[in-house]
């Protein structure tokens, strides 16, 4: 009986020990679970802190790239403005170049001959083709009467062109004062009046006026004057005057030379007594 009781005690002790062992194992497992959870938490924290550092790095890079982009945008705007500026300057240079070509051609043609009628024809050509005038007259001072008389005209009947006295009306005043006249209102050009040109340019050799170019009407497609027209007017005022004056002198001297030559020939041919 005693033996039996001893076995029971031992079994009880064993069961108690086993239970304690079970408890202990459960505690370890719980602890293990907690530690696993903690490790997972720590791993997540570490990973998150890595992402944040990377995010910070990316943010910094984005900021720098944005700065660079803005700086490039500014540069692009500046270059575009410069480009526009160059394009405008190029157009100006181009226009200037064309204007100079016009002036060069006009000047070259005016001095290409010493024939008076040829010079007048060239003046007429320039006024028609380069200025775009439809009705105009070239008038010169007559040495004998000191009046202005037309020596060439376009779009006007010769009967419409009268003698004009120096100092009389717009044309006479331009001849007297040597200053160009430009009508403020170009609508007056639709009605021809011999004394009322829309433009009157004195033909001057230094300060000496030898005549005028009077423009009464422009071509249909020409609505007004631009810079090159005023340059052409200046050129005509000087160069046309010189060309007309020189050619007239040359033609006169040629005529005199022919007359003298005729006399000489007559004298040569005169029979000796």
Binding site for other proteins (CB under 8 A): 94-95, 98, 101-102, 104-106, 108-109, 112, 122, 125-126, 128-132, 134, 219-222
Q: Which of 166, 162, 170 is nearest to 210 (CA)?
A: 166
Residue 125 or 196 having the CB closest to other proteins: 125
Residue 104 or 263 having the CB closest to other proteins: 104
d(CA 198, CA 213): 11
CA–centroid distance for 53 within its chain = 56
Closest separation in Å from C-beta 175 to other proteins: 26
Closest separation in Å from C-beta 130 to other proteins: 6
Residue 72 or 93 having the CB closest to other proteins: 93
Closest separation in Å from C-beta 199 to other proteins: 14
Closest separation in Å from C-beta 217 to other proteins: 12
Residue 122 or 151 having the CB closest to other proteins: 122
The kind and range of the H/E element at 130 are none
d(CA 68, CA 75): 10
Q: Which of 106, 115, 105 is nearest to 213 (CA)?
A: 106
Sorted by sequence, the CB contacts under 8 Å of residue 205 that are 6+ apart come out as 238, 241, 242, 245
């Amino acid at each position: 009986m005693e033996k039996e009781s001893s076995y029971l005690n031992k079994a009880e002790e064993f069961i108690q020990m086993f239970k304690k062992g079970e408890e202990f194992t459960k505690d370890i497992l719980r602890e293990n679970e907690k530690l696993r959870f903690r490790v997972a938490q720590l791993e997540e924290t570490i990973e998150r802190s890595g992402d944040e550092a990377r995010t910070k790095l990316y943010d910094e890079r984005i900021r720098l790239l944005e700065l660079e982009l803005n700086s490039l945008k500014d540069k692009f705007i500046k270059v575009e403005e410069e480009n526009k500026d160059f394009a405008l300057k190029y157009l100006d240079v181009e226009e200037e170049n064309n204007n100079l070509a016009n002036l060069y051609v006009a000047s070259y043609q005016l001095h290409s001959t010493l024939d008076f009628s040829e010079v007048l024809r060239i003046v007429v050509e320039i006024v028609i083709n380069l200025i775009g005038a439809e009705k105009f007259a070239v008038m010169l001072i007559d040495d004998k009467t000191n009046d202005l008389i037309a020596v060439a005209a376009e779009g006007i009947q010769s009967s419409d062109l009268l003698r004009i006295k120096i100092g009389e009306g717009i044309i006479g005043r331009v001849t007297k004062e040597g200053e160009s006249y430009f009508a403020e209102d170009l609508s007056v050009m639709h009605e021809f009046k011999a004394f009322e040109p829309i433009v009157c340019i004195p033909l001057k050799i230094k300060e000496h006026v030898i005549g005028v170019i009077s423009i009464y009407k422009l071509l249909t497609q020409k609505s007004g004057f631009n810079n090159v027209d005023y340059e052409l007017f200046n050129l005509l005022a000087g160069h046309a005057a010189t060309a007309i004056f020189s050619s007239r002198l040359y033609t006169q001297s040629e005529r005199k030379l022919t007359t003298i030559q005729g006399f000489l020939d007559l004298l040569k041919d005169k029979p000796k007594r």
